[in-house]
Structure 1
Amino acid sequence: MRSDIHPVLRPVVFRDRAAGFQLLTRSTLDAQGTVKGEDGTTYPVVDVDISSASHLFYTGTSRIVDTAGRVERFERRYGRTAPVRS
Structure 2
Amino acid sequence: MKEGIHPNYREVCFVDLSNGFKFVTRSCAPTRESTKMDDGRELPLYKLETTSETHPFYTGTQKSVDSLGGRVEKFRNKFKVGIKK
User: Please, what TM-score do these two structures have when normalized by structure 2?
Assistant: 0.66
Gapped regions of structure 2 (runs ≥ 5): 64-85
Residue type at the aligned position of 2:9: L
Q: Structure 1 stretches (4+) deviating beyond 2 angstroms?
A: none
Cα RMSD over matched residues? 1.5
DSSP-derived class of the 2:52 partner: coil
Q: How many residues align?
A: 63
Q: Identity of paired residues, percent?
A: 38
Look up the match of 1:55: 55
- CA–CA distance in 2 between the matches of 1:57 and 1:3? 40
Look up the match of 2:16: 16
Gapped regions of structure 1 (runs ≥ 5): 64-86
Larger radius of gyration: 1
Question: Superposed, which structure 2 residues align to 1:1-86 within 5 Å?
Answer: 1-62=1-62
Residue type at the aligned position of 2:42: T
